[in-house]
Structure 1
Amino acid sequence: MSRAGLSVFGRMRRDGTTGHPSAGPGGRDEFVLAKLQLLITNKLDGLLHGDYLGLLPGAGSEPGESREYRPGDDVRRMDWPVTARTTHPHVRTTIADRELETWLAVDMSASLDFGTARCLKRDLALAAVAAMSHLTVRGGNRIGAVVGTGATPTRIPAMPGRKGAQVLLKKVHDTPRAGTGGRTDLAALIDTLNRPPRRRGLAVVISDFLAADGWQQPLRKLGVRHDLLAIEIVDPRELELPDVGVLELVDPETGAVHEIQTADARLRERYRQAAAAQRAGIAAALRKAGAGHLRLRTDSDWLLDIVRFVAARRHARTGGTTR
């Protein structure tokens, strides 16, 4: 596959071709998922090394050594006795847990059936599931998911190892969609990870976060107990409009149709400003919840974006002692 990776994945999905002459309709999806997993394995294993001093597994519960506070450290881990003795703020590090349980909340609502660049947002969400699975299943760790498609969320039990991750990816892909509309209640989807209470682990929310307000509180609640990561899926046309004359837009969740005149420069500027304000609000809500924020765009190299994010988190957590 090319460096863009998912561009080929998305093209195979849209064209219904796989490049495999013997692949029938039933085997096409299996072939695409296998190629996606192979791409992620080759790229991430080649660029990221190390065990739990990497990025994603939870910080652990066993106390370790103290070190000086750095901007961005969790203030809940302040080591007050050492801070009092040295008169400089210190935080208590923790020893990483050897077994990690990861849960994904995957938003597969109708708004993700959209894409104007290399792939659909739905394809990018599926790639994020595959990448997070690959990064967290080593050593027999368990990974499960809840998938929202507009109906009652589908729960996929946590399973250990790479075989379990492969089964989970296939089940997320095959989750049946709801009827017309398909609007996911993102707040309810996230809150599903809070019930029943689970041991401390990693919680990952994958969505475009375009749902109405209400998901912020469940997300903050989730971040109190778990290491939290939010993966935001974005298409460039959601940020700005091109000048293409009269454009007919259909809301995939409601079916509403709107015609707009994109030749109007003032309209395009208002759209750009409103989109920027919306994304800034989403980023602020994620930051307030204490979530790591990874933005994946359908017009960029999503694998490179993941690698950069992982490397930055590793660098921050280890104080620059790893690369």
Structure 2
Amino acid sequence: MSSNRELRGVLNRPPSLATSPSAEVLRRLELTITRRLDGILQGDYRGLVPGHGSDLGETREYQPGDDVRRMDWNVTARLRTPHIRQTIADRELETWVLTDLTASLGFGTAECEKRDLAVAAVAAVGFLTARGGNRVGAVTMEAGHLATIPARSGRVNLQALLHRVIEAAREERAGTADLEAAIRRVGATMRRRGLAVIVSDFLDRSPWERPLRALAAHHEVLAVEVVDPRELELPDIGVVRLVDPESGAQLEVQTANAKLRQRYAARAAEQRAEIARRIRAAGADHLVLRTDRDWLVDLVQFVARRRERIDALTRVRP
């Protein structure tokens, strides 16, 4: 893919929240996203997550793979064959981003911490959708606290929103959070059809797929899962002390034990597969960003794959 060749070379790392001032983090993210990604991803107005829109258009005969939620029952009953109602992409989009800033995001053993990657994902969504009067709002999820940043349009408002997210991400607070309640907050806040983006590691044990399914029934939903390689497998480095950043619980583990490392990797793979299954079952799109991979390339590949899938589903038979 030519767009991938434009991005490859030196690994693109998100700026570090631990070593860079907020203004510098924001400046670097804006330059990276607007200069390197904007021209690649904006092939049409729908941009980052192209969807069907909400304005009613023409009807056509149903084809296998079409979304049954777009079925036009009046035309179907009149013509006695299934028909769906095509929609026109909105000319004004409202985007809401739920950002997980709990203690588990303050972990990273590769090129960056998970919170650095989460902030980069929020910035990408903001800069790539905040255009033409589009509004962007955010809900930040911290330990025992949810904060809502109202959706507004304009570059100045977007920068203010991202600055608040960056500052909140710097404050590492112990304690747990409720992803289920946070997603419900987003659903209650979005009063018109739009784009909802959930940025998290999805390690919360609450039944968050229920509100996610309800959210996806009314909006385009993108789940951005942030992962570190040490959450998937353990290296052979002898005795290590593992600490749960949210509860403070500690456990010493002998990583020289090959069977233990194998069991850990198998259980971690099962956990991530279950997270992916719950996201798919809810009807949301799923993007995985890893701290040991180039996040720009992963983002471009995701958008390209989704555009191909949407085009295939909406293509009218000759």
In the alignment, the residues of structure 2 paired with residue 79 and residue 321 of structure 1 have an alpha-carbon distance, to the nearest angstrom, of 15
8 Å Cα contact 1:58/1:201 also seen in 2: no
Which amino acid counterpart does residue 152 of structure 1 have in structure 2?
H
TM-score (normalizing by structure 1): 0.87
Cα gap change, 1:168 to 1:196, in 2 (>3 Å): closer
- SS of equivalent residue, structure 1 residue 318: helix
**Per-residue deviation, 1:180:** 4.9
Partner of 1:24: none
- State the secondary structure of the residue aligned to 1:319: helix
Q: How does 1:68-87 map to 2 (within 5 A)?
A: 73-79=66-72, 81=75
Corresponding position: 1:4 with 2:11? yes
Deviation (angstroms), 1:269: 1.0
1:98 is aligned, of 86, 91, 94, to: 91
| CA displacement 1:190-216 (0-9 Å, x = unmatched) | 111122451111111110000113211
The one-letter code of the counterpart of 1:36 is: L
Quickly say closer, same or farther: Cα 1:61–1:46, change in 2 above 3 A.
Answer: closer
Aligned to 1:131: 124
Q: Distance in 2 between matches of 1:58 and 1:321?
A: 10
CA distance 1:72–1:41, change in 2 (3 Å): farther
State the superposition RMSD in angstroms.
2.5
Deviation at 1:272, TM superposition (A): 0.9
Report how far residue 83 of structure 1 moved.
Answer: 10
- 1:37 pairs with 2:44: no
- Percent sequence identity over aligned pairs: 55
The secondary structure found in structure 1 opposite 2:188 is coil
CA contact (8 A) 1:154 1:175 kept: no
Question: Deviation string for 1:274-314 (max 9, x for gaps)?
Answer: 11111111111111111000000000010111111111122
1:58 is displaced (CA, Å) by: 5.1
Q: Give yes or no for the alignment of 1:224 onto 2:231.
A: no
Number of corresponding residues:
307
Taking the aligned partners of 1:49 and 1:180, their CA distance within structure 2 comes to 37
- Deviation at 1:321? 9.9
Q: Which runs of 5+ in 1 are unaligned?
A: 19-27
- Alignment match, 1:187: 180
Residue 66 of structure 1 and its aligned partner are, at CA, apart by: 4.3
Q: Which amino acid aligns with 1:225?
A: H
CA contact (8 A) 1:58 1:100 kept: no
1:270 to partner: Cα distance: 0.8
Q: Find the counterpart in structure 2 of residue 161 from structure 1.
A: 154
1:309 maps onto 2:302 in alignment: yes
Match of 1:281 among 268, 274, 287: 274
**What is the rounded CA distance, in whole Å, between the counterparts of 1:179 and 1:122 in structure 2?**
10
> CA, structure 1 residues 84+118, in 2 after alignment: closer, same or farther (shift >3 Å)?
farther
